[in-house]
Structure 1
Amino acid sequence: MSPTLVYMQVAGSCVPTTNTTTSLTPTMAERYGYGSLATLIICLCAVLGAIVFPFPKGLCYSAFMAVFLGLAVGTLFTDAILHLIPQALGLHNHGEGEDAHAHAETSGPVIEEYTWYAVVIAAGTYGFYLIEAVMTILSSGRGHSHGNSSVELGGLDGSGYVTKQSGGLVMEEKEKKSEFSTLAFMVIVGDAIHNFADGLAVGAAFSLSVTSGITTSIAVFCHELPHELGDFAVLMTSGMSFTRALCWNFVSALTAFIGLYIGLSISTDPLVRRWIFAVTAGMFIYIALVDLLPSLINTVTTHRKLLFVMHNIGILTGFLVMLLIAMYEEKITV
């Protein structure tokens, strides 16, 4: 055995090796760096909406908006049931404990026990959406509107999302300038609060892991693009100039940074983080199923069948993206 031991010593085989398993919990620099970058990209939706708004509102524009509305529904709802709710209930502690390191060392997807139950929940919701949407198309929408008003704001008629942002008010030329200003104030304040909550959710997600932050940021981005476009349309129709509407829309979007840094500072405690995830999950489900889904079902247009297809492409794409991230999140490195 002596020659063998001597050879191992010379070759360096007996040198103690350090543990190469790194913690999946992000560092302080990663939390603030990635969180700020993701929030900045989300805030740029306000500018992007202003760029898209002046373009001619044709079939391509409607198809683009239909895909993003469907994508918003798919990502928000799936992120809530696959990521946020399990984390709030303590079913999945990403990056914490020995299980996280064991998952990181395994090859292939990591499927948690609750994953397929969450998939069935999403499939059941999607199935009933399909039934109602198909029945609405077959009946040509006669007497079935869920109380949503159809409003035309720069070609955004029938989206339902803009109608929600304007509080169901139909703009008429006879309304006074002061009423326009009141509506604009309500939209700006409401959007600021909404963006603050989004930033809080992103901050808590990046405090847990980079992957969790990415999934939440994707969900927020997908619903913020049509949201900001709708807000900009309401500000324009309320009497604001293009420049003022753009500035106020962007300023209200910047409150997401306030929410981000508050979320990053208070969510270092795992218990606080779970409460934030619980509130965020409820917000995401409400936006997806109450604000957005009815507008997908009750779209009034001559191209209803095409938009139905584009909606479903967006929904299924958002669902698949969130499912793949849930399965391979331990393998994602940035």
Structure 2
Amino acid sequence: MTTRCAIITGITGQDGWYLSQLLLRQGYKVIGTTRDLRGADGQTHSGVDVVQWDMKDEAALAALLQTVRPTEIYNFAAYASGAAMYEEPVGIGDINGLAVARILEAIRSTNPSIRFCQASSSELFGEPLESPQCENTAFRPRSPYGAAKLYAHEMVGIYRRRHGLFAVSAILFNHESPRRGSAFVTGKVAEAAAHIKTGLAQELILGNLDARRDWGFSGDYVRAMWLMLQAPTADDYVLATGQSHSVRELCDVAFKRVGLDYRYYVQEGEDAFRPTEIVPLAGDASKARERLRWAPEIDFASMVNMMVDAELERLDQTNDKPR
């Protein structure tokens, strides 16, 4: 049997880490792309071939497709969301939006049989009119990040309908892991709990502790994206747990993991405070459950505990290094 080959753009991110792990176990040849080869050192699994690709260069991607002949492509490369989703709107539009059109066009012109999965985002819904949100909920993006992701999402649908590509969008709600950085609130809280426990910090300043999100585990979500490309027909899916949790709950779980009461260490800062959304972001993944037989395996508390444990382990490793 011919070995399946997958390209993962943005291989050094958390989703690239967990998907490449899954695909390598499935016997795939895995090619990862990054904009900076030097920055990829130590950020990928052994067995992943990493190549440099500028996402503005469609010709270079077409040449890569002709050389490695992938059967699947997963696009995880993007400007970050979180606090950065309003910054650099032109760059966000180019990388999170136009680059997806470049990938689709490269697939169409070189090998239309390649299956493509776009990592889309719950930021498409922005300020939703209903909760929970499903595939039929109206899109109302409120940031350059969400707007660019919406352009990419629509282009996936256009290439699927117009050119017959097996192209799908995974509408991903917040998903985290021990590889999530402190630019995101989950990473910030996990890091702070570990630092405060070990005496490296005294307090944590956050925004609205009552803000709610639907948080899942990255490993579960990349498994769903793989299932999307194994399905008999191409379609878009919301991927979510269906449960929302507040930042306050996040802090409670994280600090309890280290034996502390968050109320003594976490404060709301006026500069970072944002009002609670009238209609919360929470996903309805019924379609994925029914058609893909997918369901999250890691619950909210287990994921948070995993992140705190990883931060404690990192601190232990740092302290064990010779000075």
- With normalisation by structure 1, the TM-score equals 0.25
* Larger RCO (CA under 8 A, 6+ residues apart): 1
**Structure number with bigger Rg:** 1
Bigger fraction of residues in strand: 2
- With normalisation by structure 2, the TM-score equals 0.26
